[in-house]
Chains A and B, each alone.
Chain A
Amino acid sequence: MGHDQKYIDKKNYEVVGTRFNRPDGIDKVTGKARYGADASAPGQLVGRVLRSPHAHASIVKINVSKAEKLPGVKAIITSADLPDLTGQDQGLADILENCMARGRALYDGHAVAAVAAVDEQTAAKALKLIDVKYKKLPHVTDVDAAMCESAPVIHDRIITRGIEPKPTKPSNIAARTQMGHGDVEAGFAEADVVIEKSYKTEQTHQGYIEPHACLASVNPDGTAELWVTTQGHFVFRNVCASLLGLDIAKLKVTSSEIGGGFGGKTHVWVEPVALALSRKANRPVKLVMGRDEVFRATGPTSSTSIDVKMGAKKDGTITAAVAEMRYQGGAFPGNWAMLGCMTAFACYDIKNNESIGWDVVVNRPKVAAYRAPSAPMAAFAVESTIDELAKEIGMAPIDMRLKNVAREGTLAPYGPTYGPIGIEHTLKAVKDHPHMRAKLKKNQGRGVACGFWFNIGGQTCTDLNIGVDGTVNLTLGTVDVGGSRSSMAMIAAEELGIPYEQVRANIADTTSLGHNDMTEGSRGTFSSGMATVFAARDAIGVLKQRAAKMWGITEEDVIWENGQAIATGDSHGNLPPLSLKEIAAKAGRTGGPIAGHNEVVADGAGMGFASHICDVEVDPETGRSTIIRYTVVQDAGKAINPDYVEGQFQGGATQGIGWALNEEYIYGDDGCLQNPGFLDYRIPVCSDLPFIDTQILEVPNPLHPYGIRGVGETSIVPPLAAVGNAIANATGVRMSHAPMSPPRVLAAIDTLEHAS
């Protein structure tokens, strides 16, 4: 369905590829835009959540009698108010248990009870009056420690998947994954040089500035509404309806403006709790998380421990590569190590490769997707090792990457054979970039690294309605997290042949449009872009019919060009064209409203590749690294609005830089998070960074009508290794533990000096 040769070769875009201001701009610069916490409802209550202060504990008893008696308290819930309706669906059961502990608190910050009260002060007081009797249990928060025989087993139900014969005893290892191709032993035997190294990366948080927030209202007849900050309100609707026992059609979910998500707003956390509170209190409940709750209880990414072994010939050919990767998914199983395996060697054509992944549970919050989830850690290990390999051989790292780069026809480590991909283009652009020739000063170093991330397609549904004045409402169901309303309006304008200003793009609530999957996996612009193209073409079909009717000719004699219907054929040569506006004005007399529609499972998502250049200066006295220049080169397939593509490149790179240099979850011996705030969990601030240069390449995705590839995620993949490689070149020390914070870099420098 997606393949349309006519548009792959389209070069003369009128609207697409230019820079338009976003339709939500004025609302966002004036304070009018309404986010998760900015809605209110008549009679609304304030919801608050009580959270476990222990890393792992049995909940012996919860006594709410004192709290219930506090004037102004309208409802208190525990897991008893969220009965398990999940049937055989263990994934859904995990979500339910994560929303509210069921007999056992599995991590510091795990929700235990919740209250709804008339105001914040009363709700806060009520939380203090809830008496929870805990019995502390042994805990484990480190991924390697959790895999040991001696580690406390968190879930008796977890028997490692992917091992033959099936283990008989439960453990913290949820799954083993293996993939790759060729004969790695033979490959290593061919190698002149073999490098083997181990790496660790610490847990980081998406760090969206807007905490999770929602406003829930449930009526006794089972109708309900939820206003929520989310990356996918249709999925939230389905999950919440399942957990609460509501009919899907009766739960109306409206997505607010979203104050950042990066994957962290693909999962429900407080939404089912707010709905359950509202159901019990029979009043609307607004529930807004505090920042400490966001850190302690919502979607961080995995911490990891990774071993990499790579071998190469003297000419730079990589003959074999093996990675063994351990990813923790928090207190519930995930598939994070599998994603690490799939991405680790994806930039290269390595004849013999093998990736083994271990998905592990620990007493930490349930891991959620974070922008190209699992790929940055794998890339840190692999891209650092490639630099070491190049050094050993005496080859420039960029040339070694080019020598082994994946191309169209390369068998990807995770199975498919690549179509046209852009990794080689990005590496060549890096090699030619003036940044690569800029002089470096003392204590400065330069690093290059590559990154890969998939795109996904998925279910998408779009409406396009033409008003009597010829203006167009484009109704989308993929939440706009990065400016997609602008991009979609541009695509609709391009197809219809009308000015951008004539199109208004809106995100519909769940009662107004068919199901749309999450805005995740870099799918928003890819899939809604595809549905918008087809919805517009559907509308053009109607416009042509109506023009034919107005002219009294057959539809076959009408074509659509530059926003107007044109009559063709010898007998109609004198008919003046009819514009979209003219046809729209007569719609009531030619058959009624003019609309286009499309529902699609958007197949054919392309792959996103990037190469980054990083210059860093390391202070040898303190170990502090400062980014002095940074360049992102990435293949966008086709950049619909280059402003927003650049914004994705710069934002992703900055998150990667934060991960590389500063950001980490720090757990104490008690298993409790010690830095649940922006002061101690330091994300990059304005004065930490230079301008982030960008270069957009366009290697069209042949399976999308406009050649679009998703661009949202890949840019976070290379920075850890780009920074690590730059530090290695500045100092001579190879950092194998991210973040490469001042104490770690200083310790490494000291060790090197002592050794020499």
Chain B
Amino acid sequence: MSNATLVSTTVNGDPVQFACPTDESLMTALRNRVGLTGVKEGCGTGDCGACSVTLDGSLVCACLVLGVEAEGREVTTVEGLSQDGELHVLQQKFIDHAALQCGICTPGFLVAAKTLLDRNPNPDETEIRYALAGNLCRCTGYDKIVRAVQDAAKDMRKANKKRR
């Protein structure tokens, strides 16, 4: 490995260190060095969104970010969505609505949808469709994905109201 750099970062809440070449993408580093293969490679050029993760809360394609850019920052992948053994509402709704077929795009969709709902808890259909337009799905025609996100948003709003 030439030009390897040691990277100290936080992944899904845990401190993580890995060494990677300076020209290696965050996607490859997460998959091959951190072992988080839920980050999927569909294109490597930022067109399909299968490798979507958040970097300090912002949605990025991990294939367009260098591994070394994760230094000192917080990365969240699909593996970090469920907490305390409970699926995130979005994860459960994707299963309930059959919003996945082959499932290869699902991790990216979940991360993108969560980023949307964190920002906008009550998106309309068009807002959902545009927020997810960077994630390609070839199996579902997006119908059941949009419905799952709508349903998850509804449940999350209800839960937030109760908490208040």
Distance between A661 CB and nearest chain B CB, rounded to angstroms: 14
B95 touches A26 (CB 8 A): yes
20 additional A-B residue pairs with CB within 8 Å, beyond A482-B139, A647-B144: A28-B106, A29-B78, A29-B91, A29-B107, A30-B81, A31-B78, A31-B79, A35-B104, A37-B41, A121-B2, A207-B138, A209-B137, A211-B41, A260-B102, A651-B138, A655-B138, A678-B43, A678-B136, A683-B136, A684-B141
Choose, from B65-73, B126-134, B154-162, the stretch at the interface. Answer: B126-134
Interface size on B, residues (CB 8 A): 60
Q: Are A33 and B98 in contact (CB under 8 A)?
A: no
Chain A residues lying within 8 Å of B118, measured Cβ to Cβ, are none
Contact of B47 with A31 in the complex, beta carbons under 8 Å: no
Q: List 12 A-B contacts (CB under 8 A).
A: A19-B98, A29-B95, A29-B110, A208-B138, A209-B104, A259-B102, A291-B44, A650-B143, A651-B101, A686-B137, A689-B141, A691-B143
Beta-carbon contacts of A677-709 to B below 8 Å, as 1s and 0s?
A: 111000111111101100000000000000000
Please report the C-alpha to C-alpha distance between residue A686 and residue B104 in the assembled complex, in whole angstroms: 16
Does B153 count as interface, using CB distance less than 8 angstroms?
no
User: Which of A21, A121, A677, A689 contacts B95, CB < 8 Å?
Assistant: A21
- Identify whether the interface residues of B are mostly helix, strand, loop, or mixed: loop
Complex: how many Å from CA A112 to CA B31?
Answer: 29
Q: Is the CB of A651 within 8 A of B95?
A: no
Taken residue by residue from 87 to 116, chain B's Cβ proximity to chain A (1 for < 8 Å, 0 otherwise) reads as 100011011111011111111001000000
User: How does the 8 Å CB contact mask read for A252-292 relative to B, with 1 for contact and 0 for none?
Assistant: 00000111111000000000000000000000000010110
Q: Tell me the interface secondary structure of chain A in the complex.
A: loop
Q: Does A483 have its Cβ within 8 Å of any Cβ on chain B?
A: yes
A659 at interface, CB cutoff 8 A:
no
Q: Which of B44, B48, B103 contacts A33 (CB under 8 A)?
A: B103
Asked if B18 is at the interface (CB within 8 A of a chain A CB), the reply is no
A-B pairs with lowest CB-CB distance, top 4:
A31-B38, A259-B104, A28-B103, A654-B141
Q: Is the CB of B102 within 8 A of A291?
A: no
Query: Does A210 sit at the interface, judged by CB under 8 A?
Result: yes
Cross-interface CB contact of A653 among B96, B136, B141, cutoff 8 Å: B141
Determine whether the beta carbon of B38 is less than 8 Å from that of A677: no
Q: Is the CB of B78 within 8 A of A25?
A: no
- What are the residues of chain A within 8 A of B133 when measuring CB–CB? 685-688
Whole-angstrom distance between the Cβ of A293 and the nearest chain B Cβ: 11
Residues 331-371 of A, flagged 1 when their CB comes within 8 A of B and 0 if not, give: 00000000000000000000000000000000000000000
A647-B43 contact, Cβ under 8 Å, with A120-B28, A210-B104: no
Contact of B139 among A32, A647, A677, A679 (CB under 8 A): A647
| A435 on interface, CB distance cutoff 8 Å | no
Contact A686 B102 (CB under 8 A): no
Contacting pair B136 A651 (CB below 8 A) = no
- Closest residue of chain A to B42 (Cβ to Cβ) is A209
A:453-483 near B, CB below 8 Å: 481-483
Cβ–Cβ < 8 Å partners of B143 in chain A: 646, 650, 689, 691-692
Q: Does A24 contact B (CB under 8 A)?
A: yes
| B9, CB-defined interface residue at 8 Å | no
Question: Which among B43, B82, B145 is the interface contact of A686 at CB below 8 angstroms?
Answer: B145
Q: How far is the CB of B12 from chain A (nearest CB, A)?
A: 10
Q: Does A34 lie at the interface of the complex (its beta carbon under 8 Å from any beta carbon of B)?
A: yes
Measured CB to CB, the nearest residue on chain B to A678 is B47
